[in-house]
Amino acid sequence: MAQLKNIKAVIFDWAGTIIDYGCLAPTKVFIEVFREKNILLNSDEARGPMGLAKKDHVRELLKIESVQLQWVDEFGKIPGEADVEELYARLEPGLSMVVKQYSQAVSGAIDLINLLKNQGIKVGSTTGYVEDMMKNILPLAVKQGLLPDSVVNSSEVTGGRPFPWMIYRNCEKLGVYPLNRMVKIGDTVADIQEGINAGMWTIGITKSGNEVGLSPEEIENADPKWLNEKIAFAAQKLLAAGADFVAEGVWDCLPILEEIDRRIESGVSQ
C-alpha cells in the first residue's frame, strides 16, 4: 500500500461503522421505548434520524405524522418537549445496557485503525451516544484491540450532529489541523453533514451501516439482487447528502483514503 502523506487525521463514527454491524442497538431500543407507550414504530422510522444525538433523535421521531396520530389517540394531545424528556429518560438506561451486546468490531475496523496509527495519522471518533453509553462500549472495544486516539460523544458538546462541534473537539484533543486534510467516515446522513460542516472529506458507509440496517447473518441469507439494490439505494442517499465517496464498509476504505491523499497532494481542495 502507498504511504498516506497528506491526510492528517481520520474521524470515524461508531455504531454501523466500526462496531455494531447494521447499527442494530439503537434501532432496537427506540422501537421498544416507544412500544412501552403503545406507540408503534417500524424499523425504517426508527432509523430515519440515526446519527443525531439521541435526544434529538427522539425529537425527530415525535415529528413523524403516524407517531403524532398514535400519540393523539393514546394521550389526547400532540407530543411536546416534556414527552421528549420522558422518552429519553427511558431510552438512556436501556440503550446503555443494550450497547454492550452490540459492541463487536466490524470486520476491517481494527486493521484500518492500526494501519493509520502506524503511519502517524491521528484517529478520532464521534458518536450520537452519550458518555454513560460509551463507558459500556469502550472497555469491550479495547479488549478487541479497537482503540482510536480520541473519543468524543454527543454529551461533551453543545450540539451533536450535524453540527461540527464533535469534530472540532477531536481536532483540539488530537492537536491536528487543517480540516481539509482530514476525513470523516460514517454511515448516516448526519455523519456526512457533520463532516461537510467541518470542511472535511467524507466517506459514507453502506453495507455495514444504518441505511442498509442488516446484521451479518441477515446479509448472508439475503437475496443477492435485493441486497445489491438496498446497498445501491444507501449509496445514492449518502452521495445525495454530499459524501465524496461511498464504501460498503471500513474494509473497503483504504483505497479511497489513498485516492483522497493523491487529490490533496495534487491541490484538490474541499
Residues known to be catalytic = 13, 54
Please answer whether residues 113 and 253 qualify as being in contact, where contact means their C-beta atoms are separated by less than 8 angstroms: no
Would you put residue 19 in left (φ > 0), alpha (ψ -120 to 50) or beta? beta
User: Sign of the CA dihedral 25, 245, 249, 223?
Assistant: positive
Distance CA 193, CA 165 (A): 12
Taking Cα atoms as reference points, which of 59, 57, 41 lies closest to residue 49?
A: 57
Distance CA 246, CA 252 (A): 9
CA distances from 46 to 15, 51, 212 (A): 15, 11, 13
The contacts of residue 228 (CB under 8 Å, 6+ apart) are none
